[in-house]
Amino acid sequence: MPREIHLCLANHPGGRASLVDIQDWLWAGLEECGIKLSASDRLFRGDVPNIIFENENQGYKEFLDAHRGEINLICFVTEVIVGDKFDDAHRPWDGAQRYRDFLSIADHYSGLITMVPTNVESLGRIAPTTFFEFGFTDLLASPRAPEDWRYDYSFFGPMTPYRRQMLDRLGAFVKIDIPGLAGDGSTVALPADQYIDLISRTAINVVLKQHEAWQLPSLTRLARIGHASVGCAAEQTPIETKQSRLFPKFASVADFVEKFGRADRQRIADEARAVTAEYRATLPHRRELERNLDECPALRRF
């Protein structure tokens, strides 16, 4: 068992805020397993396993080719693979090019981690791959009493045309606060502490797909909601995980109104506590992280 695992974040300048949840769950799981997590904005280490997050991986190629065999490299893939590209609908990047960049250093990957269960088969053809489940850990629990809740309903996340349309339709029935909403209709990223505080002060956190054909639940958002023990209204997606199945969902605007149209705080608090209790009992994060270590042997190699 390694004593330490290292995160190299050099390929995520400016986009690191999107990785806060994953970094927190990596840290918590490794901490519970007695493994330290170190991090650097620019350096690899030759003495411990290294994790990078997939993003413009081509930029690493020259260095890795020059130091072949010296770096134990595991790549964490967060995007959904669709055919021969990453799903790029309403994204500011080209999914086919990003996927080619990911494959450009495939001969250097000693293991892969993904938070997308449908990615496992295709990634497994490149290197041993493990699915990362956001389990429950008391290290990240942040519950607040219902009397501390500030919002009945809130939404936070990157704004897409689909999400804007859904919020307008849901907003005809309930008032949904959108902290970070800019004048042009986009949303401004909140600092991590404000984002976590927003979730823990909202009775019903609205969780929406990024576009109509979006496949994956918002696993990081659901993890934060479950650890805050607050209410959730998550839009149904085709892909489910053990974690996402724990949370209340809606399939249409009418379904949302029927299930979540009244912000009865006592009922919401009771249901949220029940979800958190089941989350804690059925999906302990240490067990999930130990599974990752077993399924991706490179994480144990040092």
For residue range 220-236, list pLDDT tens digits in order.
999 999 999 999 999 99
Domain at 138-282, CATH from 3.40.50.300, 3.30.830.10, 3.40.50.2000, 2.40.10.220: 3.40.50.2000
E strand residue ranges, 201-264: 202-207, 231-235, 249-250
Which has more pLDDT, 97 or 56?
97
The pLDDT, as a whole number, for residue 14 is 60
Would you state the pLDDT for residue 272? Answer: 97
Cα distance between residue 259 and residue 171, in whole Å:
15
Count of residues in the chain? 302
Q: Which uninterrupted H or E stretch holds 271?
A: helix 265-282
pLDDT at residue 7 in the model: 93
pLDDT in tens, 3-36: 999 999 887 766 566 789 999 999 999 999 999 9
% helix, strand, coil for the chain, step of 5 = 40, 20, 40
- Asked whether the beta carbons of 207 and 232 are under 8 A apart, the reply is yes
Report how far residue 167's alpha carbon sits from residue 173's, in angstroms, rounded to the nearest whole number: 10
Model confidence pLDDT, tens digit, residues 69-93 = 899 999 999 999 999 999 888 778 8
Confidence of residue 275 (pLDDT cuts 50, 70, 90): very high
Return phi, psi of residue 256, to 5°.
-60, -50
Reported confidence tier of residue 302, pLDDT bands at 50, 70, 90: low
Task: Name the architecture of domain 4-132.
Answer: 3-Layer(aba) Sandwich (3.40)
pLDDT at 128: 97
> What pLDDT score does 58 carry?
81
Q: What per-residue confidence (pLDDT) applies to 12?
A: 73
DSSP E strands in the chain: the ranges are 4-8, 36-40, 50-53, 73-77, 81-82, 85-86, 109-114, 129-131, 151-154, 202-207, 231-235, 249-250
Q: Tell me: the pLDDT tens digits for 229-262?
A: 999 999 999 999 999 999 999 999 999 999 999 9
Considering the chain, tell me which residue range(s) the CATH 3.40.50.2000 domain(s) occupy.
138-282
End-to-end CA distance of the chain: 8
What confidence category does residue 212 fall into, taking pLDDT thresholds of 50, 70 and 90? very high
Written as one letter, the residue type at 296 is C
Residue ranges of E strands in 227-286:
231-235, 249-250
Is the pLDDT confidence value at 182 over 90? no
C-alpha 137/C-alpha 46 separation (Å) is: 30
Q: What is the pLDDT of residue 180?
A: 79
Average pLDDT over residues 210-220: 93
Confidence at residue 5, expressed as pLDDT on a 0 to 100 scale? 95
Comparing C-alpha atoms, which of 259, 206, 275, 195 is closest to residue 235? 206
Nearest Cα to 49, choosing from 107, 106, 111?
A: 111
Is residue 108 a contact partner of residue 275, using CB atoms and an 8 Å limit? no
Q: Looking at 67-186, list the stretches that DSSP marks H as alpha helix, in order from N- to C-terminal side.
A: 95-103, 120-124, 161-170
Strand 85-86, strand 81-82: pairing: antiparallel
pLDDT digits (tens, 9 = 90+) for 104-137: 999 999 999 999 999 999 999 999 999 999 999 9
Structure tokens, 87: 């799903």
Most confident option among 65-69, 73-77, 187-191, 211-215:
73-77
Residue 149, judged by CB atoms within 10 A of its CB (0-12, 13-18, 19+), counts as buried
What pLDDT does 16 receive?
A: 64
